[in-house]
Each structure stands twice: as structure tokens, then as C-alpha cells.
A and B are shown apart, each in its own frame.
Chain A
Amino acid sequence: MPITAEARERLTADAAEIVARYPQPRSALLPLLHLVQSEEGHVSPDGVAFCAEVLDLTTAEVSAVATFYSQFKRRPNGTYTIGVCRNTLCAIMGGDEIYASLAEHLGIVDGQTTTDGMITLERVECNAACDYAPVVMANWEFFDNQTPASARELVDSLRAGEDVAPTRGAAKVCTFKEVSRVLAGFHDGRAGEGLSAGEPTLRGLRLAREQGWDGGPVRTEPAGVGAAAAGEPTPRGGVTSAHDAPPVPARTRRRAGTTAGRPAAQATTGEDAPGSASAADGTEEA
């Protein structure tokens, strides 16, 4: 599908906006490649030529860059890229089983697209969500703690044209073209959707609040906004104020509350919460 004259005009205006962000035009190449992908669903020869023209590069120079990065597709991509993390940690936690199940369910393997053009299946490398393993990415939105069944359900819903909300991300998974446009640096108005953080992200914080561990002064604060009550995150005010800061201690090798010297079995097996506080982060199950 060649880039139409109408599209070219639109892309040219967008390209000028992208180029203007950078001190030197060539820095715009990666966002420009995301941009042409947002038009055609992949980086076509037309897309390469467009980038080359905008930046006064040869098509060979643009192709060399486009083929280096895994997010730039040389063949038409599905409406949704489903990326199963198969790096070691996710693979061992179940990513291999999820991938095998999806491949069988969809009848395709790595890099292929379903005949309806909806799903491209990929194995992806670590996507920085290991505390949510096993992880599946749908158009670069997080689907955390997946199972083979939940992943099959995800692709079935997407193929049926339903809106699907990621675990942490926008209110719904946008199309590959829409997401490519965001990656070119254009707001889509969805930044305010979704969570601040999933439960694993907050575990250390919740535990510290329950235990009254503030760790010393943390940023200056309007007076009166004190430490959070145990178990209950204080909206907007969980930060300890500077006035109740403890004196700064000399750097110490061991600190209060450590458990050094206990036999390995006590720390490394079982599911009891630290110290005497059982079910320390029980709020997450609620």
C-alpha cells in the first residue's frame, strides 16, 4: 500500500514537528520510522524513501537503521503485536508454556500474523516487569502475571474486536498504528488512564508504612502531613515531614531490624511475613 498524496502531506507536517525537536535532523530518524509505521503498519520501501527525503539521507542509510531495531517491521504487522517474554525469568515462570499455547491456539509461530490480520505473535526479550512474571505485551502494554488460559483469552478478545484493558496501561490496548504514532512523540491523550502502580511495585512501600519505617527525612513537606497509619496508605500525604527526622547516623554496616546470622532456612523458605508481622502486605489480597 503506497503512501497516498493526502497521507504524504499529513506526514510531512508531522515530520517537520519531529525534526524541530532535535538540534540535528538525523536524530529524528527513529521517531520518523515510528511515524511511517503509524501510517502503513510497517516500514515499507515508501516509508524508507519518505524518511530519506525528509532527512536528506540515502535509502540505504535509512534501511540500515530500520533493520537494526526490532520494533520496526519489514512486513505488514497485525493490528496487535502479542509479545510473550521468553527471557530466562519469565520463561521459567511459565512464559514458555504461554508461548507454546498461543502458537498452537493461533496456528502461527514467531513473527507470523494470523490470516485475519489481527495478531502478530512474537517472542520478546525482558520488558522490565520481572516482578509481574510471566509477562505478555500487547502492542507494548503490560499484561502481568499471565497464564496460558489468560493469554488465549486476551488474543480471542482482541480478534473479536473487543476493547481489552492492560493490567498497567491505558484504558484499552490501542492498535499497532495508533501506538506507533504515540512512539513518534505525539500525545494521544491517554496518559491519565490506568494505574500508578501494580501491587508488586508497591509492596516495599506498603510494608514500610505498616512497620512505621520512614527511613529518615524524605523531601520537605507542608507541616502536619505525617507518616501514614499502618496498613492504610495516606492519600497524597504519605511522605514523612522533615521536622520529625531522626538525627543522621554515621554510616553503619548493619542496621536495626536485620536478620543476619539466622539459618538460611528461616529466611529462604516458607511464606511467613517478616518478623512477627504476619500477612504484612495483606492489603493486596483485599
Chain B
Amino acid sequence: MPTPLTPVLSATWDARDSWTLDAYEKQGGYQALRTALTMEPDAVVALVKDSGLRGRGGAGFPTGMKWGFLPKPDGGPRYLVVNADESEPGTCKDIPLMLASPHVLVEGAIIAAHAIRAAKAFIYLRGEVVHVYRRLLAAVAEAKDRGYLGANILGSGFDLDLVVHAGAGAYICGEETALLDSLEGRRGQPRLRPPFPAVAGLYARPTVVNNVESIASVPSIVANGPDWFSGMGTGKSAGVGLFSLSGHVTRPGQYEAPLGITLRELLDLAGGVRHGHELKFWTPGGSSTPLLTAEHLDVPLDFESVAGAGSMLGTRALQIFDETTSVVRAVLRWTEFYAHESCGKCTPCREGTYWLVQVLRRIEAGKGTEEDIEKLLDICDNILGRAFCALGDGATSPIVSAVKFFRDEFVAGTHTPAWELFPYERSTLFAEVPAR
């Protein structure tokens, strides 16, 4: 019976020098690779399909199925690209994973590349985490020295070159086709799909793009079998995942649990909302997933249940906000983020996020007009489903959900500044220290 918390990926993080190859091998590391290399590539794809693993980067697309979409080998190159551009506000799982255990990602990448018959793979890491980059560079060098990368890996005849590539600061590069353009040395702007990356990805060749946690989950699935993985979780949401609690919670951090755990259970494990306060709103999976409230404490955090509650599981980035928080302020700041990070390629997103910021700023300042709430919703309606990629859709999520649950606060923005309704210093962690 799976226990409330199930450390799998996180199980090695407290080992001494956990990031080194020696430490990782002592924990059983690279045994799964040996197993996988004895299997036909298609059998590895089938195994991952059978496990029920779904993409851990937010969208939840079945990983094995994504691998299976690649056309038959035609003799030309095929690529694996690991999306390590973790930038979705609230999301903070891949960065600590790679800092503590870069080898689990490297091992997973080698197995995945074998499965899709790729001889070249990339880890695209956001550029703003230099120590994680150091750890990944070192891990790849160590793996190469020990014969896990390079030519004829472990005598299997399989060759793989793995390059760790640092981005340079752009949220949009987490979108897989923008990531590919960026990796090709261009501005990171999304591509029209189809063709999907499986058919025409990096350099217009068949490419699989997977999230860090998805790839890092592969070694344990190979080691323990698909039934072990699919035996955890709920319904169509198999396995375990990292749940990242942040904000007004007593013990924020990473809690690895079967999908389907609830926020109530997680808060219970994390000591509850900070002392003397109560839950006001939260995001289930980053700022692009519609806000939920205390009504939703018992929603199982799996793909279907969270969708049924009107939001999305996303990246399991549980940002907790207590009653001191102005929802208008929170939503404005997220909207400023989307406006800043909009790549500018499509009009609904580029112009829409700009105007959303203008309207929200006056509501925060208590200078909103009677029409502003409807104007916000109308602009959102003109972005959602009309933007080139999911960034625009995501920008509308916090606004529409906040208006749905907290319309009164937006109405109050026609006469009273948010900082008077919710003095901002009450939300800080150091409220006892006068900030200014």
C-alpha cells in the first residue's frame, strides 16, 4: 500500500555528496541503465507506456505515447531534448532535483535516448541557476568517464552524446517549440503546430521534448517495473510526483507523494497554514493554473480531479496564500510577469497582456472604473484560445479565477487601494520588522 509520502526521486537527496557519481551508484544508480540496454528500444517505450507515466512539466501528456509518435528511423538524426527551463511561477521541483541528483536525470536521459534511438541529446537548462549548471556539467563529465555516455555505452553498441545547454533568461523557452528555436540559436518564439516536434523538431528532425521530472522518473520505472509505478496514484494519473508547497505554509518544501493526494493532506504534513492564519487561495500547479480556494481542499491532486474542479494539475506548484493577501495584488503581479515574458509573436498575447496590466494597476490603486471587471474578462476572452501558445492562455487563468471567487475585491478597487484593504506588510515573513 503506498504510504502518504513516497520518496522515489527525492530518496537520495540527503546522501553525502548526493550529486556525485559515486554516491549515486551506491544508491543503485545506473543499474536501470544496464537493464534498459539489454532491452530492445521498442520494449523500453512499451514499458514506459505501461507504467502510465504522464508528462510532469504541466500538460500531462503520456510520456511513452510521446516517444511512440516518432516516425520509423530513416537513417537521419533523432534527438532527445530535456526541458529544464523551469520558470513557471511557483514551480520549484526540477531545480532542487538537479542540484541534489543530477545523475538521475542523466541516467534517465540515456535510457530515453536509447528508447527513441537518438544518438544526441540535450538538457536545456534555464541560465539563471549557475550552480545547477555546474552540477549537470560535472555529472555528464563523470558519466562519460565511466562509460555511461559516449561510444558503445557499456558494450551495448549504443552511442550517445549529451550536451547541457544554458539558456539566457526567457520564460517562453519552457514552451517546447520555443525551446527548440532557442536551442537552434534563435529568439525563443513558439512554432506553429503541426508539425509536432516528434515529426519536425530540432533542426526539423524527429525530436522528443520531455520535462526533467518525467525523464528522471524513467530509471525507477525501469528498475521496479511498470506495475509498481501504475500501482500508485489514481485513475489515469499514475505514479508519484513532487508536490512543492510554498507561501504562507508552516513548513514549505518538496513533498513527494502519489498523485491524488489532497491539499488538506499535504498541509497537514507541512504543519498547516502559517500560525494564526487561514487559507484564502492557492494554485494547484503554478500561476497558469486557475486559483482554487478552501472549498477545494479535498480535491485529489491528479489530472482529472483538478480539471474537474475547474483548474489544472500543472506542475504541482502549490502556492499558498493566507487571508492577509490581496488577490488583486497577486493577480496583477502575475499579469505583469506574463506581459514581460510574452514573446511578442502573436497579437492577442502581446497586446492583451499589456492592457490587462493597465486595468489591473488602476484596480490595485483603487482607481478602477465600473466597467473594468467586465473589460478584464473581455480581454481574457480575446486571448484565451486565440494566442499562439499556452502563455497567453495561462495569463488569463489567474484573472478569470480570481474574479470568479473574489469579485468583491475587484469591485473594491473602484474606490479603495488594495494596500489599504490588505496592508502589504502583513503578508511578509518578517512582518515584525518595519520594512521601510
In this complex, the member of B28, B95, B250, B276 whose beta carbon has the largest number of chain A beta carbons within 10 angstroms is B28
When distances are taken between beta carbons in the complex, the residues of chain B under 8 Å from A191 are 19, 131, 134-135, 137-138
B424 to A, closest residue via Cβ: A96
Query: How close is B254's CB to chain A, nearest CB, in angstroms?
Result: 5
- Nearest chain B CB to A245's CB is how many angstroms away? 8
Name the interface residues of A224-241: CB closer than 8 Å to any CB of B: 233, 235-240
Which of B23, B120, B219, B428 contacts A236, CB < 8 Å? Answer: B23
Q: Chain A residues near B120 (CB, 8 Å)?
A: 23
| Closest beta carbon of chain A to B54's beta carbon, Å | 14
Contact across chains for B131 and A199 when beta carbons are under 8 A apart: no
Pick the contact of A21: B32, B163, B223, B330 (CB < 8 A).
B163
Query: Which partner residue on chain A sits nearest B182 by CB separation?
Result: A30
Which A residues are in CB contact (< 8 Å) with B243?
Answer: 204
Looking at the complex, which of A7-15, A111-119, A155-163, A182-190 is the stretch in contact with chain B? A182-190
Contact status B264-A260, CB under 8 Å: yes
- Chain B nearest CB from A137 CB (Å) reads 7
Within 8 A of A (CB), among B213-240: 219-220, 223-224, 227-228, 230-235, 238, 240
B252 near A268 (CB under 8 angstroms)?
A: no
Q: Check if B297 sits within 8 Å of A236, measured CB to CB.
A: no
Q: Is the CB of A271 within 8 A of B274?
A: yes
CA distance A194 to B132 in the complex (A): 11
**A88–B333 touching, CB < 8 Å:** yes
Inter-subunit contact A145/B6 (CB<8 Å): no
- Complex Cα distance, B261 from A237, in Å, reads 27
Q: Mark A209-232, 1 if CB is under 8 A from B, else 0.
A: 101011111111110000000000
Q: CB distance A92 to B329 under 8 Å?
A: yes
Inter-chain contact A69/B254, CB cutoff 8 Å: no
**Which residues from chain A contact B91 at a C-beta distance below 8 Å?**
126, 128, 130
**Interface residue ranges of A102-147 to B (CB < 8 Å):** 104, 124-134, 137, 139-142, 145, 147
B165 touches A141 (CB 8 A): no
Given contacts A197-B18, A235-B15, contact A133 B246 (CB under 8 A): yes
Most A CB atoms within 10 A — which of B88, B120, B232, B270? B270
Pair B264/A140 contact, Cβ less than 8 Å = no
Chain B residues near A268 (CB-CB < 8 A): 264, 267, 272-273, 278-279, 294, 297
Question: Is the Cβ of B185 less than 8 Å from the Cβ of A271?
Answer: no
B19 nearest CB neighbor, chain A only: A196
Interface SS of A by simple majority: loop
**Cross-chain contact A201 with B253 (CB below 8 angstroms):** yes
- Chain B interface size, as a band, is 35 or more
Bound-state CA distance A190–B19 (Å) is 12
B359 within 8 A of A: no
The reply to whether A251 and B230 contact each other, CB–CB distance below 8 Å, is yes
Contact B185 A216 (CB under 8 A): no
Q: When the two chains form their complex, are residues B182 and A71 in contact, meaning their CB atoms are under 8 A apart?
A: no
Mask: chain B, 262-281; 1 = CB below 8 Å from A; 0 = not: 10110111111111111100
Q: Mark A257-286, 1 if CB is under 8 A from B, else 0.
A: 111111011111111111100001100000
- In angstroms, Cα B187 to Cα A270, docked, is 48
**A contact residues, range:** 35 or more
CA A252 to CA B300, docked complex, whole Å: 12
Q: In the complex the two chains form, what is the Cα distance from A280 to B13 in whole Å?
A: 18
B433 touches A148 (CB 8 A): yes
Distance in angstroms from B81 CB to nearest chain A CB is: 11
| Interface stretch of the complex, out of B143-151, B317-325, B373-381 | B317-325
Q: How far, in angstroms, from A72 to B251 measured CA to CA in the complex?
A: 36
A134 to B252, CA, bound (A): 12
- Which A positions have Cβ atoms within 8 angstroms of B? 21-24, 26-31, 33-34, 55, 64-65, 68-72, 83, 86-89, 91-94, 96-98, 100-101, 104, 124-134, 137, 139-142, 145, 147-149, 166, 168-170, 174, 179, 182-185, 187-188, 190-192, 194, 196-209, 211, 213-222, 233, 235-240, 242, 245-246, 248-253, 255-262, 264-275, 280-281
Listed by A's residue number, 18 A-B pairs whose Cβ atoms lie within 8 Å are: A33-B168, A68-B170, A69-B167, A71-B127, A88-B334, A97-B425, A130-B247, A133-B246, A139-B130, A187-B138, A201-B13, A203-B255, A204-B256, A211-B5, A215-B258, A239-B27, A253-B300, A271-B271
Nearest 4 pairs between A and B by C-beta?
A: A215-B6, A97-B435, A213-B3, A203-B253
